Every structure is written in C-alpha cells, then in structure tokens.
Amino acid sequence: MFLMNGVPYTNTFFRADDSYCSNCHEGQLDQYTNFENLKRSERQNADYRIHYRIGCSGIAILGIHGGEIEPGTMRISDAIAGQEHSFYAFEGIKSRGNQSLHITSARFDEPIAMEIVCVSEIIISIHGCTGMEPMIFLGGLDVELKQQILQELQKYGFQTTECSESRFGGIDYSNICNLCGRGMGVQIEISRGLRTQMFRDLTPEGRRYPTEVFVRFTQAIRKAIDPFALIYFETHPLEGTD
C-alpha cells in the first residue's frame, strides 16, 4: 500500500507494452508545461497510463517518457528496478501524436512520480534519444554514482560518455533525477540505435522479445547501483530488529 497525500493508494502497475514511435523528443517543444496542464486535455488509461511499484532499497528507477514517447524506456526501467528498487513509468498509449505527452524532466510533476521521488534517496531516470549509433549518455548531479555506472557499462562493452553541459547533462537542480533525498541523481540517455539492439524491434510486439544486449545493459546498471542500495540498508536499519 502506498500513501499519496496521506490517503492509501493501491498499486496500479500493469506489465503492458511500451508502444512504438518513429522519433524521440530532441528538438521538439513541449506542448504541456506540467502535468496539470496535460491532464486537462489527455485521458488516463486512454491516452496515457501510469505504472509503479514501491521497493525497499531507497533507489527509484524512472521512465517518465515511456510508451510511444521514447520507445523501450519503460521496459528497460522495469527490468533495472526488479523487485527491490522502486519503479515508475509514464506510458504514452495514443494511436498517434504521443510526442505531445512529453514533459521535460525539469517540469515533470505527475503526483505519484513526485511521491516516489520524495521518499527515495537515489533516482535513476531512463530516457531515449535519437541517433542510430549505439551510444549511452550519462547526466545528473551524482558524480560518484555516474562514475560507477560508467565503469560498469564500459566493462559490459557499451560505448558510454558522461555529459555535463550538453542537452543530456541533467544538471538542472529541478530535473526530476536530482529531486531525491541526496539532492542528486543520474539521467541515462540511450540512443535509438542501441534501443533497437535491445529488442527484436521497437514495435510493441517486438519489445516483448528482449535480446542479449538488453540483458547485458540492465545487468550492468543493476550491478553498478547495488553498493548504493547496501549503503542505504546499513544507514536505515529495519525497525524492530536487533
């Protein structure tokens, strides 16, 4: 059971597909400046869906541009989270025009996402970017965690670069990845070329079939964040235990 504004809120996570889109969001202006504006025109469970579950590690994995907005990012976020980390995804499910559902990371304020962020010590936000070269761009203010993720991804054979000043930098303090308890998180941008390699293809049906690349990528991220979860458990012992 999850409390939202002090009221019990049941878990609404479904293992539905991300959906397909032909382009990611780079270079496009957001139609909506925040979630309040979006929900006045878009219908939940008709135009978008919200998925989440609550973990116990103090780490949350977000896919705020899931579904047809940035295809593949919801399934990637879900796999990284597993059962121990919290998971959230905003999934675009419109038959067309899902780019209109994109709200930039510094303005994304959907209430359930914000509740999860506020009770998490560490946030990792998964995004998709254009480009067919298989690349990963790391941003966010958590330098230590970024370095850990960078090292693991490179060990697993992924071409990865750290971005501090580009559009993938994630250095705005209002970026959702930096709103966690530590005040700093990590933003991971995955090129379309690499996401294409992670599934049979990027259609809704194709994403039902992850490849070895998908497994290798999610394992690398999970291995990188494991030490940070252990630190959380050590500093937040379970109540009622010796």
Residue 222: give its domain's CATH number: 3.40.630.100
Contact 126, 76 (CB under 8 A): yes
Asked, for residue 60, whether it belongs to a domain, the answer is yes
- The share of the chain scoring above pLDDT 70, in percent, equals 81
Asked, for residue 12, whether it belongs to a domain, the answer is no
Look over the chain and give the mean of its residue pLDDT values, rounded to a whole number.
86
Residue 88 pLDDT class (50, 70, 90 cuts):
very high
Asked, for residue 239, whether it belongs to a domain, the answer is no
Query: Which pair of tokens denotes residue 163?
Result: 């971005």
Domains in the chain, number? 1
pLDDT in tens, 140-151: 999 999 999 999
Asked, for residue 5, whether it belongs to a domain, the answer is no
Contact 89, 147 (CB under 8 A): no
Burial (Cβ within 10 Å: 0-12, 13-18, ≥19) of residue 209: exposed
129 SS3 class: strand
Asked, for residue 109, whether it belongs to a domain, the answer is yes
Which residues have CB under 8 Å from 114's CB, separation 6+?
179
**What is the model's pTM?**
0.85
Residue-level pLDDT at 28: 60
* Residue at token pair 């060990």: 155
Asked, for residue 159, whether it belongs to a domain, the answer is yes
CA distance 87 to 128: 17
Which residues have CB under 8 Å from 228's CB, separation 6+?
59, 122, 145, 148
CA distance 176 to 104: 9
| Pairwise pLDDT comparison (124 vs 8), residue with the higher score | 124
What range does the domain containing 58 cover? 20-234
Asked, for residue 227, whether it belongs to a domain, the answer is yes
**Structural element, H or E, at residue 41:** helix 35-41
According to DSSP, the residues that pair with 137 across neighbouring strands are: 161, 189
pLDDT in tens, 1-13: 333 333 333 333 3
Average pLDDT of the residues in 189-212: 96
Asked, for residue 149, whether it belongs to a domain, the answer is yes
Q: What residue type is assigned to position 203 of the chain?
A: T
